[in-house]
């Protein structure tokens, strides 16, 4: 990560995509992120949302809305941040105890910033491919549920049992629930406050407002207080405070959106498998597929102005975000072209 | 600081003011902050500013605008953050070296979050009342120039000399230039990159957009890289990225606003001194006055719905932000009432 944010290891970087593919005539169809393309409709913002620092009453309204939406038992167990990324940055720094030799298990593959942030704070990071490979050697365990990019799900009772074991030896389970709005039954939010468990929630993905920068940590009050203290006063913008409070209490929009994303996911799956791609997994905000010729398809889509997420370390994988209506048409056209091209040029396919 | 941001030790907290004074019929006239009441006019924001994570090209445009406005010699010497407060939070954590016994001099009185943040990261903080009291004992020196709340100014050459001495022994001078937009000749931005010097800039105060959360650190590339790494990807919102880039390049608005704030300050000074208050100092975004009956005036103004900043540790001081046109009328009326009341009740005045 350089100071300009200009790297290719995250989705959504159209500047980097243009360096590689040029600027597409029709504009980009960006399917490289897991952000809902049908954003929450912005409420009117009063001038003071921009001008003034959000005050205690506005932050309290935001936290109450989040507490209710996520189902957190206690108000002292939730804190807001400018994106869940800000919490990923701070958490390892607050846990750092140079006296102990702490090994952090990160259930991989997953969102790369977790391992990066713990390693950056001086922890030994142990990438673990399977939940059952977590051992007593691991004092801190980090995983995403459901996972990005493969959608892997771990049952809440297994996670709560692990959090209990970790708490008993002064450890911590970090569960990144960035995509759990789509599967609320998976969320551990109702257990927030138990020792040894911290949950990260992202606002921007489900609500389609990634640029707003809003996320939450749920956990034991003492740890939440330390995070709040580290973030300092006014970590969240006035617009994020107000839009977040409105969106998180809009249960009609939330229910409608869950259904719409489930429908769009079914449609995307049909399109992708129809093109000969194998579905590995996903959530209702992204789908992970596998194909021996994935690098060729990535290039072909990129040249057609469709950016998807590739994985240099897993060259057979591609991740597709959910298209808009017009995006479905463009993607369908490109995939049809690829299928016929592929049939004509079987040599493109390398195992 | 609790998780709701609800404390009285900062300006601008109307929720706390309402607990104390009740909600004023005419609404609050908030003069408790140093935020320009005539905000930069918001440009139209495209939907993607909200929906998408700001990409490398947008961040680069923001940093170029800031580099030019502040006069930073090198692009590698500037990083953006969600408010300069976020930088105040991170800086001590990055400088922390438990092996050395580092004493941090904070030139006081000043913005309270500096001492709080360095102490919170485990440093010994030594409040120093005068610049000449900084000694070789101090490895890190923190000050604001011009200072808040008293407007104290220190000549750039004295600061550069100190930064040089500190750098020679591995130390650091932190200069908070939150209010330096009004006095660009005081800024050390053109020296950003020199070892031992880091400068913090606030966007929201001069541009009247405190709710946007945008600030910058200027300094040696290695330290700026570490700050960027600590902040992580996408620390700044899409709206802040675009509004910041527009405002920081709007030289006509900037020149007009400097003049308007200078005029308003003259008018405010006449009003305050006309009411018998002694001017201690300030910048063109706030004025600090002194009076033996300051606590009585604070209460009187509060009950009239005018919130100013008091200083529990300096009970004779009050800080006034710059009013809008209608705010001037309201303040004038209240101060006139106070003056006649005070003349009638000389016993209110305690030395």
Please list every residue in chain B whose beta carbon sits closer than 8 Å to the beta carbon of residue A4.
56, 59-60, 63
Instruction: Give B16-34 pLDDT, tens digit per residue.
Output: 898 899 999 889 999 999 9
pLDDT value, residue A346: 54
Instruction: Give B122-157 pLDDT, tens digit per residue.
Output: 999 999 999 999 998 999 999 999 999 999 999 999
pLDDT value, residue B345: 62
Between the CA of residue A180 and those of A159, A184, A186, A187, what are the distances in Å? 14, 6, 7, 6
CB-nearest partner of B49 from A4, A63, A211: A211
pLDDT value, residue A9: 59
Contact in structure between A307 and A29 (CB atoms under 8 Å): yes
Task: Tell me how close the Cα of B122 comes to any Cα of chain A, in angstroms.
Answer: 12
The pTM of this model reads 0.94
Looking at chain B, the whole-number percentage of residues with pLDDT higher than 90 is: 85
Please list every residue in chain A whose beta carbon sits closer than 8 Å to the beta carbon of residue B52.
12, 30, 33, 35, 210-211
Calpha distance A41→A39 (Å, rounded): 6
Please list every residue in chain B whose beta carbon sits closer than 8 Å to the beta carbon of residue A240.
237
pLDDT value, residue B97: 62
Average pLDDT, chain B: 92
Q: Distance between alpha carbon B246 and the CA centroid of its chain, in Å? A: 21
Closest chain B residue to the Cα of A55, Cα to Cα: B13
Instruction: Give A185-210 pLDDT, tens digit per residue.
Output: 999 999 999 999 999 999 999 999 99
Instruction: Give A68-112 pLDDT, tens digit per residue.
Output: 999 999 999 999 999 999 999 999 999 866 556 789 999 999 999
| Cis status of the peptide bond prior to B309, with omega within 30 of 0 | no
Contact in structure between A190 and A73 (CB atoms under 8 Å): yes
Flag whether pLDDT at A134 surpasses 60.
yes
Flag whether pLDDT at B348 surpasses 60.
no
Question: By three-state DSSP, how is residue A139 classified?
Answer: strand
Q: DSSP letters of A226-277?
A: HHHHHH-S--S-HHHHHHHHHHHT-HHHHHHHHHHHHHHHHHHHHHHHHTTP
pLDDT value, residue B191: 98
Calpha distance B232→B219 (Å, rounded): 18
Calpha distance A114→A163 (Å, rounded): 18
CB-nearest partner of B51 from A39, A78, A88: A39
The stretch B98-114 carries a mean pLDDT of 87
């Amino acid at each position: 990560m350089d100071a300009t944010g200009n790297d290719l290891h995250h989705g959504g970087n159209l500047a980097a995509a243009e360096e590689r593919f040029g600027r597409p005539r029709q504009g980009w169809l960006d399917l490289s992120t897991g952000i809902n393309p049908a954003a929450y409709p912005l409420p009117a913002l009063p001038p003071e949302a921009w001008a003034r620092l959000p005050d205690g009453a506005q932050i309290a309204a935001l936290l109450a809305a989040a507490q209710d939406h996520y189902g957190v038992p206690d108000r002292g167990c939730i804190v807001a941040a400018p994106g869940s990324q800000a919490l990923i940055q701070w958490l390892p720094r607050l846990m750092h105890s140079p006296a102990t030799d702490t090994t952090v298990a990160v259930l991989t593959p997953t969102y790369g910033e977790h391992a990066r942030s713990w390693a950056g704070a001086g922890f030994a990071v142990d990438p673990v491919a399977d939940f059952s490979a977590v051992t007593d050697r691991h004092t801190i365990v980090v995983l995403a549920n459901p996972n990005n990019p493969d959608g892997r799900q771990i049952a809440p009772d297994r996670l709560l049992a692990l959090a209990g074991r970790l708490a008993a030896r002064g450890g911590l389970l970090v569960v990144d629930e960035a995509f759990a709005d789509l599967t609320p039954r998976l969320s551990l939010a109702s257990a927030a406050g138990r020792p040894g468990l911290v949950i990260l929630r992202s606002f921007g993905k489900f609500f389609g407002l990634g640029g707003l920068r809003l996320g939450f940590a749920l956990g034991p009050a003492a740890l939440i207080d330390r995070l709040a203290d580290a973030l300092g006063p006014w970590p969240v913008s006035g617009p994020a405070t107000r839009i977040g409070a409105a969106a998180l209490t809009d249960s009609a929009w939330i229910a409608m959106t869950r259904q719409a994303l489930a429908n769009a996911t079914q449609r995307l799956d049909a399109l992708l498998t129809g093109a000969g791609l194998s579905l590995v997994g996903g959530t209702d905000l992204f789908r992970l597929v596998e194909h021996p010729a994935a690098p060729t398809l990535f290039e072909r889509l990129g040249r057609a102005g469709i950016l998807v997420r590739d994985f240099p370390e897993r060259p057979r994988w591609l991740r597709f975000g959910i298209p808009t209506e017009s995006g479905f048409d463009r993607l369908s056209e490109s995939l049809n072209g690829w299928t016929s091209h592929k049939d004509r040029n079987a040599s493109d396919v390398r195992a």
